[in-house]
Structure 1
Amino acid sequence: MRKNLTPSQIVSILRDHKLWLKKEGGAQADFTLTDLSGNNFTRVTLRGAKLVGAAFCDCLLIGVDFEGADLYAADFFNANLAQANLKGCDLRGTYLRGAVLDHANLEGADLRDGTLAVGGTGEIKFLAHRHELKGTQLADLTGVSLRGARLARATIIQTDLTGASLTGAILNDADLTDSVLTDVDLSGAKLMNANLSGVNLCGANLAGADVRGANFNNVNLASCNLEGVDLSKAKMQNAKTTRDLVALSIDIRKVLREHAAWIATLGTQGTRAVLDGLDFSYVDFRSFNLSGASLKRVDFTGANLAGMELNMADLTGANLENANMMGVQMRGANFANALLLYANLRDADASPKEILDRQGLSTNKEWPTNFSKADLYGANLKRANLTRANLTGANLENAKTIDANLKDADLTSAIMKDE
């Protein structure tokens, strides 16, 4: 349980801390397990303060100097930390969802996951975690703004940065091992000698990033925007890059032409695409139209499907793990028993599809999208339209449902735990 202080008590502690820093008496600030939410600490010096488990929710912390402060498991939910100095801070277990860290200095900071525990005798313990990603609560920096932030040599192991903005951030020599960077904007970032081994970069934007010496071992880069990125000096052992369409077992462009004619003529010409069981892992199918196609058990692992049209398509049992499905039109599609672990479905439209007759006229009926028994563990569903979707028995554990539209969705027997 966190304690509360009056404004005058807070001012008094800060005044004493300032004197303590100058070695003119005073006392070191101790806000351990204190609720400081909603306060304005702009440009305040908290260097060397005791802040274990302190709550700074919705605080203005612009330009605050935290260097050397003890920030074990502090809560910065929705706090504005722009230009703050967090150099070398131990930020393990801190809660930073919704925080703004634009141009903050986090050089050498430790952002690993951890849990704060208060023992029966009142002692405070910090427990760090290193486990497999699935089933583990990652350190949560979802949606955090770190534009231009200095993160050189920072430790950001096993951290969830889904949807975060790191444009122009300095991450040279940083360690991001096994972190989730789905839909992250790293355009123009400095990643020289950074360790990104095992990182999930599904749908990430790395345009113009400097990756000289960066470690991309075991990373899927097929669904990333790599415009202007030179990978020649990066470490790429077992990294996945986009597969050439000519290397596929079928002439996909011919299939698409026939399928387009089939769609345009309501089935009187062309041929419906039936691609059941094929391997399309790590391909670039952006903006392709496979509406109404049969894609049962297709392997789309790590594929870039952004902007595709999959309305009324049948993807029963398909593997879409780590696939980039940002903005996909999938109205009325069938994803029953499909694997969508860590897939990026931001802005996808999975609302019901109007059913037309053979003349293309409305039947005044709609067909909902089917995700029954689908595995959406860790999927990014931000702003996805799931109106009336069938999610019976689906696994939505750790899925990001921020601003998702789940109106009238059937969640019977669905597994839903905190994001």
Structure 2
Amino acid sequence: MNATAGERRYTKLSQAQVDVICHKHERFFQCKPGGGRAVFAWCDLSGLSFRGRVLQDADFTAAILADCDLVGCNFDKSNLFCADLQMANLMGASLRRVDLRGACLRGANLSGVDLYEADLREGALALPDKHAGLAYVEISMRTSEATYANLRGANLERSKLSGIQAMKADFSDATMKGCKLVRANLKQAIMNNVDLAGADLSGADFTGASMKDAVLIGAKTDMMRTEQADMSGVLTDKIVGTDVKTLPYGEMLQDHAKWVDTLGKQGKPSTFDKADLRALGQIRGLNLTALSARGAVFYGLDMRGVQLQGAHLEGADLRNCNLKGADLRGVRMYQARLDGANLEGANLGALQIDATRVLPADLREARMRGANLADADLKLAKLDGADLSRANLEGASMKLEALEHVTCVGLRGRLAS
């Protein structure tokens, strides 16, 4: 779709006209006089700026938004049916429950976009016709296209993407839990570290795709094609390492707590190295100081308020774990994976050994993409080589110098003063 092909149908708007309409829309949602819902249906808006605009419930049916600056916009519940968003920059925008059926996202930048429950199924354009009732603008149904699109770190949870054409698109680190991808074309797409837990991938084509470290727990994979795809490190329902159910874990945890409480006089320390601990469900509030769980899988566990001071968690998989308020002073998390983990208010400071010695938390080369570190204590933490891309550091306590050798793409929040 382009303005030239449909010049009789499309209305070309200037930046000044767009600004006026957006201003009225904002007044409309604030219940102020002079407001009105923004209607950009069948408008050519290519190359214009909507940066930071609040356009909830606006109408962009069949609009041309190619090359537009849409960074940080709020399009929640808007109608973008069959819109042309080629090469548009939507970084950090919110498109929750948006209608994107039949939309074209070829080459668009959707890094960090929130597409929760968005609808990207196929759609067809039609206009009223006095003879035929409805005249289709395009003969066949139009499939949503996201070829070459950048969706790194995007939230696509429970979105409808059945039939989408997304060849060579980049979905790295995206959250796609419960997503519908029936018969989706994802050939040669980059799906590294994507969370597809509970997704419906029936008939989806991942030929030649890179799915390293992807999560497929509970996913429907009937007729899914993965020829020549890189599936290394994929996490499924299959047990990884030692099944915790084969261990007397209840007794082990009790002995460990006794060992900690009596300063080593009773009980004994527990070792869960390379064990799959997902079956535990939750270890909320437990005292697991100095626990050894190197290379263990904790994925998705409820670990709120857990005490893991000085614990050995090198190389452990803690993705999507809830560690809110956890005591992680002096923890060893070298090369651990904490993508999407909730560490709000967690204590990752130094552990006081005696009057003169402290043990800093070791997070070197840890992967913490999209992690929530709001109000966390990171003072003295070792972060060299860590990846904090798209992490939330709002109110976190740490020195800015600690981020010198850290990957900080799309970092969010303001550090505590």
Structure 1 length-normalised TM: 0.65
Q: Which amino acid aligns with 2:13?
A: A
Q: Which of 186, 201, 221 does residue 230 from structure 1 map onto?
A: 221
Counterparts of residues 255-274 of structure 1 (less than 5 Å): 256-265=249-258, 266=261, 270-274=267-271
By how many angstroms is 1:304 displaced?
2.0
Match of residue 67 from structure 2: 71
Q: Does 1:306 align with 2:301?
A: yes
Q: Which of 398, 405, 417 does residue 410 from structure 1 map onto?
A: 398
Q: Which of 369, 374, 390 does residue 364 from structure 2 map onto?
A: 374
Q: Does 1:388 align with 2:377?
A: yes
By how many angstroms is 1:345 displaced?
0.9
Counterparts of residues 216-365 of structure 1 (less than 5 Å): 217-220=209-212, 223-226=215-218, 229-235=220-226, 237-239=229-231, 240-242=234-236, 244-245=238-239, 248=241, 253-254=246-247, 256-265=249-258, 266=261, 270-275=267-272, 278-279=273-274, 284=278, 287=281, 289=283, 291-295=288-292, 298-300=294-296, 304-308=299-303, 311-315=307-311, 318-320=314-316, 323-328=318-323, 330-336=326-332, 338-340=334-336, 343-346=339-342, 350-351=346-347
* 1:137-170 Cα distance to aligned partner (Å, 9 max, x none): xx42333335223373322544224444343343
Q: Does 1:190 align with 2:182?
A: yes
Cα 1:165–1:305 change in 2 (3 A) is closer
Match of residue 48 from structure 1: 44
Structure 2 length-normalised TM: 0.65
Q: Which amino acid aligns with 1:230?
A: T
By how many angstroms is 1:350 displaced?
1.9
* 1:58-96 Cα distance to aligned partner (Å, 9 max, x none): 134622234444334443522346222344431343335
Q: Does 1:58 align with 2:46?
A: no
Q: When the two structures are aligned, how many residues end up with a matched partner? A: 349
* 1:5-44 Cα distance to aligned partner (Å, 9 max, x none): xxxxxxxxxxxx9xx9547xx9732339986654425333
Matches of 2:237 and 2:24, distance apart in 1:
52
* 1:381-410 Cα distance to aligned partner (Å, 9 max, x none): 23x4553343545267653344x6645x23
* 1:310-358 Cα distance to aligned partner (Å, 9 max, x none): 522545571247x4142136423534462246622136662489x9xxx
Matches of 1:292 and 1:152, distance apart in 2:
50
Matches of 2:198 and 2:152, distance apart in 1:
21
Structure 1 residues not aligned, in runs of 5+: 1-16, 114-138, 356-367
Q: Does 1:28 align with 2:22?
A: no
Asked whether the equivalents of residues 310 and 329 of structure 2 are also in contact (C-alpha less than 8 Å), the reply is yes
Matches of 1:369 and 1:149, distance apart in 2:
49
Counterparts of residues 197-212 of structure 1 (less than 5 Å): 197-202=189-194, 204-207=195-198, 209-212=200-203
Asked whether the equivalents of residues 295 and 314 of structure 1 are also in contact (C-alpha less than 8 Å), the reply is no
Q: Does 1:148 align with 2:119?
A: yes
Asked whether the equivalents of residues 279 and 299 of structure 1 are also in contact (C-alpha less than 8 Å), the reply is yes
Matches of 2:300 and 2:79, distance apart in 1:
37
Asked whether the equivalents of residues 318 and 337 of structure 1 are also in contact (C-alpha less than 8 Å), the reply is yes
TM-align CA RMSD = 4.4
Give the share of equivalent positions with the same residue, in percent: 6
Cα 1:319–1:179 change in 2 (3 A) is same
Cα 1:106–1:292 change in 2 (3 A) is farther
Matches of 2:205 and 2:11, distance apart in 1:
44
Counterparts of residues 102-113 of structure 1 (less than 5 Å): 102-113=98-109
Matches of 1:328 and 1:285, distance apart in 2:
17
Cα 1:294–1:55 change in 2 (3 A) is closer
Match of residue 10 from structure 1: none
Cα 1:105–1:89 change in 2 (3 A) is same
Asked whether the equivalents of residues 11 and 42 of structure 2 are also in contact (C-alpha less than 8 Å), the reply is no
